[in-house]
C-alpha cells in the first residue's frame, strides 16, 4: 500500500504526540515528521517529502498563516490542512488560511473528556480529510475512503458530460437555488456568489459543512464581497429573493411553506452522511416545497452528501449543476451526482455563477 506521509507542525508537544499516535494507528497513514513551529516545518518539508502538512495556526517563531504563505510559494500543490481552535479568533484565522490556499481545516479536540475521546475525534474528522485530499495516492476518488484493495475506480472523464446543459422535460420556473458544498467550499462560494446580481430574483439556500461560529463568519465575509446579502440562517426567517442563507454549523436547515411565504426550519436531527448540516436535508425539503422550481448546485466536497437530495430534485423535475473535477479541491460530492447521471451540466467553477444566472433568467422569461 502507498501510505500517505503526514508532516505535523504544532507547537504543543502533547498535541503532536496525540495526533501522531492516532494517525500512525491507521495503516494507510505514516508520520513523515513533526515540527514545533513553522520555520522548522518549512525546513523539514524537503527532508521528509510529506504528502500532506497538518499545520497549527497559532505558533511561535513563524505562525501558521505565515508558514502557509511560504508553503504555497514554494510548494503550490502540497495539500495543507489547518489545525485550529474552536474559537472566534481561530475561526477567523482559519478562513484567512483557506483564502491563502489551505485545502481544508479541522478543529482541535476540546472539552472531549479523555484522551480516547480526543483520538476518536481525530479518527472521525481528520483522517477522512487526509485520505480525501490524498485520494490519488490511495487510489480512491475523493468519495468515502476505502482500503486500496477495495477502492472503486472513477470512470474516465470521457464517460461524463462536460459543459452541456440538458434541461429535464417539464423543468419549471426556478423559484430557489440550493447549494451543497464542503471541502474547498469557502473559496468556491467566494467565486460563485460575487457573480450573482444584487437583484437576483430568487433566494439562495446554502449548506457548507462547517462547525458553529465558522458559518456566521463565512456569511459575513461573503456579504463583504458579494452584491447579495448573505446571512447565517435563522429559525422561522422568511426566505426572500436576492438573499443567501447559510445553514448554521451543527444545525440542519430546511424549508417549509407558511401561507404565501416560505420559512427556514433549523433542527439538530440525526446527522446524515456524518454531516450536520447536511445538503441532503435541505435538498429534499426544497424538492417538496418548490418542486420543479428548484435548481440545485453541488460544488467541491468530500463524500456524497447531496446525492440523495439531488435524486429527489430530479424526480420532481428540478435542475442540477455540478462543479467539474479539475477545479474541485475534492470531487466527492459533485462526482457522486455526476456518476449517477443526475447532473444537467458539469462545469468549471468559473462558469457556475454565470450558468446559475442564465438558467434562472431563462426559466423566468428572460434571455
Query: Looking at the annotation, which residues are catalytic?
Result: 182, 209, 305
Residue 187: CB atoms within 10 A of its CB come to 19
Cis peptide leading into 277, omega within 30 of 0?
yes
Q: What are phi and psi of 296, to 5 degrees?
A: -100, 140
- Helix then strand then coil, in percent of the chain rounded to 5, is 40, 20, 40
DSSP reduced 3-state for 73? helix
DSSP reduced 3-state for 17? helix
Q: How many CA atoms lie within 13 A of 216 on its CB side?
A: 9
Residue 152: CB atoms within 10 A of its CB come to 12
Residue 13 burial by CB count (10 A; 0-12/13-18/19+): exposed, middle or buried? Answer: exposed
How many angstroms separate the CA atoms of 179 and 176, rounded?
A: 10
DSSP string, 159-224: GS--S---PPTT-----EEEEEE-TTHHHHHHHHGGGS-TT-SS-EEEEE---TTHHHHHHHHHHH
Element (H, E) at 337: helix 333-339
Amino acid at each position: 500500500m502507498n501510505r500517505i506521509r503526514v508532516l505535523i507542525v504544532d507547537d504543543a508537544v502533547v498535541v503532536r504526540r496525540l495526533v501522531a499516535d492516532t494517525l500512525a494507528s491507521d495503516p494507510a497513514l505514516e508520520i513523515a515528521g513533526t515540527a514545533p513551529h513553522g520555520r522548522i516545518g518549512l525546513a523539514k518539508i524537503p527532508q521528509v517529502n510529506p504528502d500532506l502538512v497538518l499545520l497549527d495556526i497559532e505558533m511561535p517563531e513563524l505562525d501558521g498563516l505565515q508558514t502557509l504563505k511560504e508553503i504555497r510559494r514554494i510548494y503550490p500543490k502540497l495539500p495543507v490542512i489547518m489545525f485550529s481552535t474552536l474559537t472566534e479568533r481561530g475561526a477567523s484565522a482559519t478562513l484567512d488560511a483557506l483564502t491563502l490556499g489551505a485545502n481544508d481545516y479541522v478543529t482541535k479536540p476540546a472539552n472531549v473528556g479523555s484522551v480516547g475521546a480526543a483520538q476518536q475525534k481525530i479518527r472521525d474528522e481528520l483522517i477522512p480529510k487526509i485520505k480525501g485530499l490524498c485520494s490519488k495516492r490511495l487510489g480512491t476518488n475523493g468519495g468515502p475512503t476505502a482500503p486500496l484493495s477495495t477502492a472503486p475506480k472513477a470512470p474516465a472523464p470521457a464517460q461524463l458530460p462536460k459543459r452541456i446543459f440538458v434541461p429535464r422535460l417539464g423543468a419549471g420556473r426556478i423559484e430557489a437555488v440550493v447549494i451543497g458544498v464542503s471541502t474547498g467550499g469557502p473559496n468556491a462560494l467566494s467565486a460563485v456568489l460575487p457573480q450573482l446580481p444584487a437583484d437576483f430574483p430568487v433566494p439562495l439556500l446554502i449548506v457548507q459543512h462547517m462547525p458553529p461560529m465558522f458559518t456566521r463568519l463565512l456569511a459575513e465575509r461573503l456579504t463583504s464581497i458579494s452584491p447579495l446579502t448573505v446571512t447565517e440562517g435563522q429559525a422561522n426567517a422568511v426566505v426572500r429573493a436576492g438573499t443567501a442563507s447559510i445553514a448554521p454549523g451543527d444545525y440542519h436547515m430546511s424549508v417549509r411553506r407558511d401561507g404565501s411565504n416560505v420559512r427556514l426550519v433549523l433542527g439538530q436531527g440525526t446527522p446524515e452522511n456524518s454531516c450536520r448540516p447536511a445538503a441532503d436535508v435541505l435538498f429534499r425539503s426544497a424538492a417538496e416545497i418548490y418542486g420543479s422550481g428548484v435548481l440545485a448546485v453541488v460544488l467541491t466536497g468530500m463524500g456524497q452528501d447531496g446525492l440523495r437530495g439531488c435524486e429527489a430534485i430530479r424526480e420532481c423535475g428540478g435542475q442540477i449543476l455540478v462543479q467539474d473535477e479539475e477545479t474541485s479541491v475534492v470531487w466527492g460530492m459533485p462526482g457522486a451526482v455526476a456518476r449517477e447521471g443526475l447532473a444537467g451540466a458539469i462545469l468549471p467553477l468559473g462558469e457556475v455563477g454565470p450558468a446559475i444566472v442564465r438558467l434562472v433568467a431563462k426559466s423566468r422569461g428572460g434571455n
